C-alpha cells in the first residue's frame, strides 16, 4: 500500500481533517436521477485503499441539528424537511410547492438525515479550522451550493456551504469562497450578497444553462457591492485556458481582499465527459485549482458539489485528497470494492476530449480585465467591529494526548488521529495499531506478553512502589500466606504425607492482569532490592526451635494455618546462614517408619488438587521452613527401605514440590537449606519464623 503514493517534493506538510459518514451512500434520490450520493462512498474507497488514511485524521462528524440549520434557513423550511417522507408527502403538497420540491429535488427516504450529514461535516470542518485543529478540512459530502434560505434548488436542500462560512465568521474577519463547479453558486452568492465579510468568486458556464445567474455585472449590493465576482464561461474550456484565468483572478482577490480563510467548492461536473457538464477540463486541470489554493497557506475548507459521472468524480476527489495531504497518487487504481466501476482502463485519470473550446483568448482577457476593474472599487481590508466570540454550539472536549493514561484504551477519536510520517516505516500494511484495520490485520497473530514464572512480584514485599497495590484480593492469591476459613493456626500432621506424584506446577496468575505489564528487568531489579532489605535470622533462634521435643499428631488431617482476612500483614521471607551441616536425629528414623507404614494405607492419602493451565515451576532462592518440611516428607516417602535416614542427610541438587491445602507450595533446592531432621521437631510450624 505504501507504493500507491509518493510524497510531493518540497511540499509543506499540512494537518488534514477528513470527514466521512458511511451512511451517506445509503440515500437515493430516485430512479433515473443524476444525483448519486453513492459517489461519496466510492471516493472514500479509493482514499482508504491508496493509504491516504495514514496521512490525515479521519472523522465522522456529528449530524447538524435543526437549530444549527436554522442559523441560515427558515424555521418552517427546516421543520418541513424534518417531517416530510414519501409516505406522507401528499399531506404536504402545499408546502412542496412553496419550498420548490419536485423533480429536481424529490422527497426520498431519509431526506433530513442526508441533509444533516452533509451540513454536519462542513460545520465541523469549519469549526476545527477556526480552532487551529487542522490546516485543511475535507468534506466531499458537502458543497451543495444551490439551496436557498427557504427553498430547495438544483438537487440541494440545505446549504452546508453557508453554514460552514457562518462558522468561520465566528473567528475570521473575512472569508473567501471560490466555486469551480460548472454551475453558478447562486445560493452562496445570494446569502452574502450584501456583506463585505464574504467575497464569492465563481467560475461557471453562463447562458441558457442552469441556474441562469452569475453574469459578469452581478457584483453585489449595498455594503457588499463589488464583493461578488463572477467569471462566465462558454463550452469546452481546456486546462490551459482555465489556469490562465483562475490563478490571476485569485491572486488579485488575495491582494485586494486579504481573507483569513478560504472555502473551495470542487464541483466535479466541470470535468470532461460529465453527464450534465460541458467543460473539457481534465482531472489534473481540475486538481490544479486545489493545489493553487492550497499554496496560499490559509485555512482551507474543501467541499464537494456537482458531478454526475460518478467514476470520474470519485477519481478526481481521491486525487485531490492526495494533493491536500502532500501525496502524489500512482495512476494504477488499487483493488477496492468498486474496482469494476473504473474499467476498462482502471487508471486514476480523467483525460480531456476533442471537443471545441468556445472560449477564445480575446473574450477571456476582456472578462478578466473587467473583473480586475471591479476589484479596484473594493475597500482594501474592510474593518470588522470588535465583538465577543459566541460559544460554539458543537464544541467538543479538548483532550491533551500527553495527559492520557497509557494503561487505558485510547478512544477511537485519538486512534484515527495517528498520522504516518513520510520517513516512517510501519511493520504492517494496515497500520493496525491505530484502530484503522483492514482484512489483513485480523489475520495476524495476537501479540502476547511474556509469561512470568512463579508467583511474581506479589511474593516479595519490600516497600518499593512498583505500581501494584497490596489489596485483599491480592492477599488471597498469595501462595505463601496460609489461611483457613476460621482464621486460626492449625497444626500440620507429618504422619499423613501425600502420595508420590509428579511435582505439581504452580498455576499462572491469570487473575492479576497488571503483572503482564511488569518489565522483566524491572522485576529482577525489584526482587534484588527486596532481598537486600531483609535481615537474616539469627542461627541461635533457629537452634532454640530445633531443641523442642517432637509432637506427632495422628488424628488430624494436614490443614493450613491462617491469618485474619482483615489484616494485611507483611510477608517476611528470610535466609538462614548455614555454617555446618547438622547431624540427623533419631526422630528421623521414627518418622521414616511411621511414614512407610502410612503409605501402605491408600485410604488415608490426600487427593491432589486439580491445577488448571499450569506454568513452569518457580525456583526461589529463599529458605522457607514449611516448604523444606514438605520437601523432606516427599524425599522420605520415596524410599521403603532402611536407607531413608541416609537419604535424609544427602545434599541433592534437584527440586521437590509439595502441595499444601488447595495450593501448591513453591519448589526449592534441597542443597540450599538446612536438614529437615531437626526442623521436624516442631508440631505446629509458623510460616513466618522470627
pLDDT digits (tens, 9 = 90+) for 288-316: 999 999 999 999 999 999 999 999 999 99
Alpha-carbon distances of 104 from 90, 107, 538, rounded to whole Å: 17, 10, 98
pTM of the model: 0.61
CA distance 229 to 256: 13
Catalytic residue among 145, 146, 286, 461: 146
pLDDT for 11:
77
Task: Give me 37's grid cell.
Answer: 450520493
Sign (positive or negative) of CA dihedral 463, 464, 469, 475: negative
Q: Quick check: 397 pLDDT over 80?
A: no
Q: Kindly indicate the confidence band of residue 396, based on its pLDDT and cuts at 50, 70 and 90.
A: very low
Judge contact between 142 and 118, C-beta under 8 A: yes
Judge contact between 110 and 87, C-beta under 8 A: no
Of the listed ranges 136-145, 159-168, 621-630, the least confidently predicted one is 621-630
CA distance 455 to 432: 34
117 forms bridges with which residues in the sheet? none
474 is catalytic: no
pLDDT for 499:
54
Considering only residues 246 and 571, tell me which one the structure prediction assigns the higher pLDDT: 246
Alpha-carbon distances of 311 from 38, 143, 154, 194, 277, rounded to whole Å: 10, 18, 21, 38, 15
Task: Give me 586's grid cell.
Answer: 533419631
CA distance 78 to 95: 12
CA distance 48 to 56: 11
Judge contact between 281 and 237, C-beta under 8 A: yes
Q: Kindly indicate the confidence band of residue 634, based on its pLDDT and cuts at 50, 70 and 90.
A: confident
- The structural domains of the chain, ordered by start, are 13-26+37-60+119-376 (3.40.800.20), 417-447 (no CATH), 456-679 (no CATH)
CA of residue 231 relative to chain centroid, distance: 45
CA distance 116 to 607: 69
Sign (positive or negative) of CA dihedral 510, 511, 516, 521: negative
CA distance 277 to 129: 32
CA distance 510 to 271: 62
228 forms bridges with which residues in the sheet? 200
Which of 234, 255, 457 shows the shortest CA–CA distance to 360? 234
Q: Kindly indicate the confidence band of residue 642, based on its pLDDT and cuts at 50, 70 and 90.
A: very low
Q: Which residue shows C-alpha cell 485503499?
A: 49
Task: Give me 551's grid cell.
Answer: 509432637
Q: Does an H or E element contain 42, and which?
A: helix 38-49
HSE at residue 25, side-chain half, CA atoms within 13 A, is 14
Amino acid at each position: 500500500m505504501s507504493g500507491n503514493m509518493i510524497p510531493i517534493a518540497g511540499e509543506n506538510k499540512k494537518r488534514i481533517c477528513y470527514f466521512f459518514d458511511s451512511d451517506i451512500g445509503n440515500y437515493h434520490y430516485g430512479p433515473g436521477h443524476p444525483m448519486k450520493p453513492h459517489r461519496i462512498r466510492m471516493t472514500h474507497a479509493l482514499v482508504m485503499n491508496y493509504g491516504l488514511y495514514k496521512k490525515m485524521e479521519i472523522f465522522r462528524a456529528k449530524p447538524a441539528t435543526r437549530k444549527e440549520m436554522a442559523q441560515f434557513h427558515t424555521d418552517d423550511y427546516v421543520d418541513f424537511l424534518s417531517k416530510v417522507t414519501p409516505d406522507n408527502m401528499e399531506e404536504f403538497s402545499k408546502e412542496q410547492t412553496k419550498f420548490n420540491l419536485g423533480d429536481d429535488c424529490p422527497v426520498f427516504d431519509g431526506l433530513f438525515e442526508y441533509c444533516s450529514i452533509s451540513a454536519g461535516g462542513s460545520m465541523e470542518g469549519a469549526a476545527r479550522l477556526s480552532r487551529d485543529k487542522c490546516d485543511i478540512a475535507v468534506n466531499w459530502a458537502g458543497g451543495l451550493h444551490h439551496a436557498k434560505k427557504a427553498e430547495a434548488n438544483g438537487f440541494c436542500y440545505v446549504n452546508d456551504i453557508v453554514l460552514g462560512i457562518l462558522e468561520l465568521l465566528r473567528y475570521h474577519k473575512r472569508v473567501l469562497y471560490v466555486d469551480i463547479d460548472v454551475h453558478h453558486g447562486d445560493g452562496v452568492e445570494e446569502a452574502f450578497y450584501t456583506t463585505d465579510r464574504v467575497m464569492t468568486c465563481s467560475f461557471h458556464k453562463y447562458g441558457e444553462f442552469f441556474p441562469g445567474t452569475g453574469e459578469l455585472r452581478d457584483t453585489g449590493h449595498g455594503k457588499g457591492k463589488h464583493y461578488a465576482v463572477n467569471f462566465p464561461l462558454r463550452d469546452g474550456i481546456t486546462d490551459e485556458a482555465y489556469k490562465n484565468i483562475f490563478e490571476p483572478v485569485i491572486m488579485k482577490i488575495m491582494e485586494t481582499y486579504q481573507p483569513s480563510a478560504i472555502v473551495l467548492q470542487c464541483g466535479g461536473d466541470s470535468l470532461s465527459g460529465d453527464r450534465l457538464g460541458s467543460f473539457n477540463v481534465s482531472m489534473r486541470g481540475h486538481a490544479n485549482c486545489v493545489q493553487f489554493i492550497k499554496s496560499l497557506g490559509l485555512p482551507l475548507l474543501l467541499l464537494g458539489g456537482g458531478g454526475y459521472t460518478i467514476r470520474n468524480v470519485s477519481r478526481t476527489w481521491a486525487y485531490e485528497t492526495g494533493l491536500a495531504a502532500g501525496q502524489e497518487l500512482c495512476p494504477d487504481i488499487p483493488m477496492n470494492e468498486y474496482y469494476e466501476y473504473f474499467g476498462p482502463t482502471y487508471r486514476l485519470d480523467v483525460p480531456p476530449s476533442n471537443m471545441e473550446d468556445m472560449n477564445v483568448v480575446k473574450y477571456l482577457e476582456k472578462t478578466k480585465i473587467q473583473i480586475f476593474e471591479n476589484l479596484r472599487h473594493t475597500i482594501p481590508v474592510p474593518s470588522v467591529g470588535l465583538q465577543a466570540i459566541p460559544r460554539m454550539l458543537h464544541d467538543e472536549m479538548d483532550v491533551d494526548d500527553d495527559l492520557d493514561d497509557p494503561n487505558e484504551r485510547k478512544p477511537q477519536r485519538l486512534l484515527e488521529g495517528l498520522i504516518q510520517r513520510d520517513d516512517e516505516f510501519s511493520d504492517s500494511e494496515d497500520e493496525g495499531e491505530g484502530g484503522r484495520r483492514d482484512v489483513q490485520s485480523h489475520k495476524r497473530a495476537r501479540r502476547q506478553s511474556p509469561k512470568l514464572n512463579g508467583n511474581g512480584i506479589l511474593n516479595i514485599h519490600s516497600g518499593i512502589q512498583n505500581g501494584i497495590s497490596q489489596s485483599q484480593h491480592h492477599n488471597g492469591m498469595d501462595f505463601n500466606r496460609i489461611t483457613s476459613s476460621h482464621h486460626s493456626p492449625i497444626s500440620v500432621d507429618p504422619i499423613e504425607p501425600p502420595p508420590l506424584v509428579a511435582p505439581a506446577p504452580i498455576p499462572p496468575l491469570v487473575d492479576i492482569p497488571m503483572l503482564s505489564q511488569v518489565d522483566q528487568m524491572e522485576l529482577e531489579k525489584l526482587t534484588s532490592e527486596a532481598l537486600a532489605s531483609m535481615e537474616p535470622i539469627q542461627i541461635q533462634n533457629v537452634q532454640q526451635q530445633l531443641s523442642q521435643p517432637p509432637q506427632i499428631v495422628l488424628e488430624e488431617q494436614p490443614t493450613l494455618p491462617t491469618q485474619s482476612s482483615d489484616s494485611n500483614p507483611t510477608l517476611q521471607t528470610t535466609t538462614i546462614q548455614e555454617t555446618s551441616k547438622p547431624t540427623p536425629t533419631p526422630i528421623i528414623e521414627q518418622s521414616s517408619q511411621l511414614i512407610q507404614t502410612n503409605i501402605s494405607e491408600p485410604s488415608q492419602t490426600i487427593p491432589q488438587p486439580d491445577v488448571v493451565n499450569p506454568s513452569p515451576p518457580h525456583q526461589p532462592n529463599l529458605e522457607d521452613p514449611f516448604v523444606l518440611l514438605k520437601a523432606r516428607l516427599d524425599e522420605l516417602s520415596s524410599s521403603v527401605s532402611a536407607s531413608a535416614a541416609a537419604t535424609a542427610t544427602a545434599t541433592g541438587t534437584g527440586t521437590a514440590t509439595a502441595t499444601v491445602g488447595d495450593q501448591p507450595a513453591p519448589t526449592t533446592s534441597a542443597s540450599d537449606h538446612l536438614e529437615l531432621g531437626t526442623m521436624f521437631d516442631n508440631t505446629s510450624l509458623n510460616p513466618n519464623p522470627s
